[in-house]
Structure 1
Amino acid sequence: MEPLLLNTFGWKKKIPEEIRIPTLIALSHYPELKGVKIEFRFAEKKSKSVMSARPSFRSVFGVLADRTYVIYVRRRFVIEGKLLRIEELPQNILVGWIGHELGHIMDYKDRSVLSLLGFGLGYLILGKYVRAAERRADEFAVRHGLRSEILETKNFILNNTHLPERYKNKIKRLYLSPEEIMEIVNTDEEEITKKLASV
């Protein structure tokens, strides 16, 4: 199974061995990203986020088709008083987390240089802009078939008593709630039903 996933969805991707399988599973939900250059890197410095996605700064000013994106992954963190490595998380939760970051890349991939620079500036200084961007990434993931993984990831974060309250509050404030995720799913299902009925 893994060689098939790697050959199909691992093209132009650099993925650390420790997170290879959940990353390939998440990528399999995004056929639009097959030819897009994406590097998954363990963050060198201690990061507030478990994962973050951004375009490689050098590639922003080049040809759109050659643009590279980097997803930084925090290598270790503490849960329930234990130091855990990222690969020790349940696979579905990792797939959901990575799927959300790939949603950001979907948001970036067709933007012009000016649009990306404006996006970056807005993300740095405007709270409303951050919230809109995070919710769009969630929506991309849900619409690409990762509803259960995104819900599982959110439940893991919000119901884990040993994750910092500040981090939980950030998730509640910026990201789609489980109810909003279900609303998207139900709306999409209604649209599909209407289209099928009109054929």
Structure 2
Amino acid sequence: MRTLFVLILAMTTIHAQQNIPKSIRKEALLALSHYPLLEQTDITFKFKKKLHKSIMKAQPKFGALFKSRRKRGYVILISESFQLGDSLFRTKNLDSDILIGWLGHELGHIMDYRNRSNLNLIGFGINYYFSKQFIKEAERAADGYAVAAGLAPYILKAKNFILNKAGISKKYRNRIKELYLSPDEIMVLVKQLEETKETE
């Protein structure tokens, strides 16, 4: 019931600047509803045939680095399908909760980007391309934003899908374990957030 209420609220409050394909609109709006600071942000969700080494990718729109932080636009690129081990998946056909978790993580990246200066974002892109340690820090930060936004149950479902799905290669699982927060780390973060709220 709460999920339905949140979704209805999201559909009536999310700003018209959110450009979302119909096939993932429900999931994107629910994920966005957890990020009220992004309500007025220009975000486009766009399917691509294939993304190099990614299933989803959040990045500033072309020309965004010539605008102020407040006026920047962002795009979340989404691979139409992806191969994990011997299995081929159509992204739009994923379980709804898994898709919300994935989109919530990408929106976490946008929360990170919006706090950075244009020059800092350029450095971010360069470091992300060349440094594995930097990738780890960036991906864990995005997970952190998503958990802080209340999306932990969805993030956990997305991670469990990758870590436990039959047919997904050990190499890919190890990459996820290395670069992203683990389910146990997420639960620790959730507990810390709950304890912080109790003391406020």
TM-score (norm 1): 0.91
What do you get for the CA RMSD once the two structures are aligned?
1.8
C-alpha deviation, 1:82, in angstroms: 5.5
Is residue 64 of structure 2 the alignment partner of residue 28 of structure 1? no
Counterpart AA for 1:181: I
C-alpha deviation, 1:31, in angstroms: 0.3
C-alpha distance in 2 between matches for 1:111 and 1:46: 25
Counterpart AA for 2:191: N
Is residue 68 of structure 2 the alignment partner of residue 63 of structure 1? yes
Counterpart AA for 2:183: P
TM-score (norm 2): 0.90
Local SS of the residue matching 2:63: helix
Could you say which residue in structure 2 is the equivalent of 1:85? 90
CA gap of 1:48–1:186, structure 2 versus 1, over 3 A, is: same
CA gap of 1:125–1:55, structure 2 versus 1, over 3 A, is: same
Q: Mean Cα displacement is larger for which, 125-134 or 62-71?
A: 62-71
C-alpha distance in 2 between matches for 1:12 and 1:73: 18
Could you say which residue in structure 2 is the equivalent of 1:95? 100
C-alpha deviation, 1:33, in angstroms: 0.2
C-alpha distance in 1 between matches for 2:167 and 2:136: 24
C-alpha deviation, 1:46, in angstroms: 4.3
C-alpha distance in 2 between matches for 1:151 and 1:62: 35
C-alpha distance in 1 between matches for 2:197 and 2:141: 21
CA gap of 1:19–1:143, structure 2 versus 1, over 3 A, is: same
Local SS of the residue matching 1:133: helix
C-alpha distance in 2 between matches for 1:80 and 1:129: 26
Q: Percent identity?
A: 45
C-alpha distance in 2 between matches for 1:189 and 1:5: 24
C-alpha distance in 2 between matches for 1:79 and 1:44: 16
Per-residue CA distance 1:24-60 (angstroms, 9 max, x = gap) = 0000000010000001111244432111111113111
C-alpha deviation, 1:79, in angstroms: 6.0
Indicate if the aligned counterparts of 2:86 and 2:168 stay in contact, CA closer than 8 A. no
C-alpha distance in 2 between matches for 1:122 and 1:94: 27
Local SS of the residue matching 2:129: helix
C-alpha deviation, 1:73, in angstroms: 0.4
C-alpha deviation, 1:85, in angstroms: 1.9
Consecutive unaligned residues in structure 1, runs of 5 or more: none
Aligned equivalent of 1:130, options 121, 130, 135: 135
Could you say which residue in structure 1 is the equivalent of 2:47? 42
C-alpha deviation, 1:175, in angstroms: 0.3
Could you say which residue in structure 2 is the equivalent of 1:186? 191
Could you say which residue in structure 2 is the equivalent of 1:168? 173
C-alpha distance in 2 between matches for 1:80 and 1:117: 34
Indicate if the aligned counterparts of 2:85 and 2:169 stay in contact, CA closer than 8 A. no
Q: How does 1:1-12 map to 2 (within 5 A)?
A: 4-12=9-17
C-alpha distance in 1 between matches for 2:182 and 2:88: 28
C-alpha distance in 1 between matches for 2:51 and 2:74: 20
